[in-house]
Amino acid sequence: MSTDLAITIFVAGIAAGTTLLFAAVGEIITERAGVLNLGVEGMMLVGAATGFVINVNVEEPWIGVLGAAAAGGLMGLLHAVLVVGFKSNQVVTGLALVIFAQGLSGFMGESVVGVAPPETFAPVRVPALSSIPAIGRILFRQDALVYLSFLLVAATWWFLFRTRPGLNLRSVGESPETADAAGISVTRTRYAAVSVGGAFAGVGGAYLSLAQAPSWIPNMTAGRGWIAIALVIFATWSPVRAAVGAYLFGCVEALGFRLQAIGVDVPSFFVSMLPYLFTILVLVLISRESTRRRLAAPASLGNAYVR
């Protein structure tokens, strides 16, 4: 593999992984609070549709991103009302939200299927840094949302592991009874975490429809929400490791298209299948209680708290 081809794959992999990274960081925040959100795929879909529709109407992609965050946040709030407020089963509720979001996003985006976006996020070169050989091309000639994702990873890590509110959130995910006894509101913390996680998933969907593949087609996330959930487990609930995993998944996705483009006799469907195969494997492993303990999953993940 030539150097130019490798750099091209990494550049495309960073872009492809950014969609996963936004959703995965949001899911990390949600699961650190002890709530399992299997509705990420649906929240990404609603975010993608909302962002694209707003962009078509106001011709401003940043407003589309804000709208996508709001839409994803509302979906997250709905999930929180059901699983935190009404103590519904978190797995069933998440799956129901995906089905609901598939219909909702299809209805929202029906009028813009096949419409060309008036504005998109174009690559922005970072002065000086973009001139660094190889690294400059890979990391510092991306669009603004990619740079925002870099900041998001650092800010989320700092929040979770270096601030008191982050410690409170993690304590709610580990032992809500102890957190409650210490005066931390378990309900309020979980509501906030699930809503913020939904907002980030919405932005991940908007990145797909406004930057990576500027367009709208029904179900365009194509299972990326499920990959993001598996990525959280792969990253052992760490934003920094989630970034590495997201870009790894993105590079695998980009590799399939590049191999086909240069005439390598490998079915692109086989390469495209690999991330999803890995997702299934991770979800099967995490279903075992012994595996969850070894990976240091939040102790109360998926469990409703009744005071």
Q: How far is CA 256 from CA 40, 264, 274, in A?
A: 25, 10, 10
Confidence of residue 235 (pLDDT cuts 50, 70, 90): confident
Confidence of residue 165 (pLDDT cuts 50, 70, 90): very high
Residue 297 identity: A
Average model confidence (pLDDT) for the chain?
90
**Burial bucket for residue 288 (CB in 10 Å: 0-12, 13-18, 19+):** exposed
The whole-model pTM stands at 0.93
Looking at residue 234, its pLDDT comes to 82
Looking at residue 230, its pLDDT comes to 87
Q: How far is CA 97 from CA 42, 65, 72, 208, 302, in A?
A: 6, 21, 11, 20, 16
pLDDT tens digits, 166-218: 999 999 999 999 999 999 999 999 999 999 999 999 999 999 999 999 999 99
Of 48-52, 85-89, 261-265, 279-283, least confident by mean pLDDT is: 261-265
3-state secondary structure the chain: CCHHHHHHHHHHHHHHHHHHHHHHHHHHHHHHCCCCCCCHHHHHHHHHHHHHHHHHHHCCHHHHHHHHHHHHHHHHHHHHHHHHHCCCCHHHHHHHHHHHHHHHHHHHCHHHCCCCCCCCCCCCCCCCHHHCCCHHHHHCCCCHHHHHHHHHHHHHHHHHHHCHHHHHHHHHHHCHHHHHHCCCCHHHHHHHHHHHHHHHHHHHHHHHHHHHCCCCCCCCCCCHHHHHHHHHHHCCCCHHHHHHHHHHHHHHHHHHHHHHHCCCCCCHHHHHHHHHHHHHHHHHHHCCHHHHHHCCCCCCCCCCCCC
Looking at residue 252, its pLDDT comes to 81
Confidence of residue 290 (pLDDT cuts 50, 70, 90): low
Confidence of residue 233 (pLDDT cuts 50, 70, 90): confident
269/183: higher pLDDT:
183
- Over residues 234-254, mean pLDDT: 89
Question: Is a pLDDT exceeding 60 seen at residue 146?
Answer: yes
Confidence of residue 39 (pLDDT cuts 50, 70, 90): very high
At 240, give phi and psi (nearest 5°).
-65, -45
Confidence of residue 32 (pLDDT cuts 50, 70, 90): very high
- Over residues 114-122, mean pLDDT: 90
Looking at residue 285, its pLDDT comes to 65
Looking at residue 37, its pLDDT comes to 96
Question: Is a pLDDT exceeding 60 seen at residue 138?
Answer: yes
- Over residues 70-87, mean pLDDT: 97
Contact by Cβ (8 Å): 228, 47: no
Question: Is a pLDDT exceeding 60 seen at residue 1?
Answer: no
